[in-house]
């Protein structure tokens, strides 16, 4: 028998991260809208926010747009969203 080595990272343990708890309710919650910078991303998120308002009565909206769709969100924006938002919606995949 010969072992053929796994070329993927599946056996590599991912970096430890704790998933955020599911919010108990969205009524009055501050929602983050993170557009990735691609065309119409924030316009799409604004429509999503309209639905969230109508169906779940969400509260304040916090908007951020990535300067580069290919890079992570700037650390300051990510920190701000994490600090103030109950949940964040991000878009758009083209």
Partner 1 sequence: MPATTHPGIDVDDAWQAIEACFAQKWTDGLPVVPPTEPLVERMLAAGPWRADEVLLHEPVRDRTVTAWHAAINAVMAGCKPEYFPVVGAALIAIGDPEFTLHGPATSTGGAALMVIVNGPVRERIGLHGGGNLFGPGIRANATIGRTLRLVLLNCLDCRPGVLDQSTQGWAGKYTLCFAEHEAASPWEPLHVSRGFRAGQSTVTVFAAESNHNVLVHAAREPETLLVAFADTMAALGSFSPGRSVIVFAPEHAQHLKRAGWSRARTQAWLYEHARRPLADLKRAGKIEAQFLVNPDTRRWLYGPESDRAERGPDAADAHARVLPGDERIFVHRGLGPDDMLLSVGGGAAGGHSAFFPAWSRGRSVPFVTKEVPGEVPA
26-34, 49-57, 63-71, 81-89 -> range binding partner 1 (CB under 8 A) = 63-71
C-alpha–C-alpha distance, residues 62 and 22, integer Å: 19
18-26, 53-61, 62-70, 84-92 -> range binding partner 1 (CB under 8 A) = 62-70
C-beta of 16 vs 21, nearer to partner 1: 16
User: What's the CA dihedral at 19, 24, 29, 34 to 10 degrees?
Assistant: 30
Closest C-alpha among 92, 79, 34, 88 to residue 58: 88
Contact between 11 and partner 1 by CB under 8 A: the answer reads yes
Binding residue for partner 1, selected from 16, 19, 72, 76, defined by CB under 8 A: 72
């Amino acid at each position: 028998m010969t072992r053929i080595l796994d070329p993927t990272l599946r056996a590599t343990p991912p970096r430890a991260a704790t998933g955020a708890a599911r919010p108990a309710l969205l009524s009055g919650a501050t929602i983050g809208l993170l557009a990735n910078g691609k065309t119409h991303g924030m316009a799409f998120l604004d429509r999503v926010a309209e639905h969230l308002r109508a169906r779940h009565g969400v509260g304040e909206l916090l908007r951020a747009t990535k300067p580069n769709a290919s890079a992570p969100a700037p650390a300051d924006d990510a920190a701000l969203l994490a600090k103030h938002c109950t949940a964040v919606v991000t878009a758009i995949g083209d």
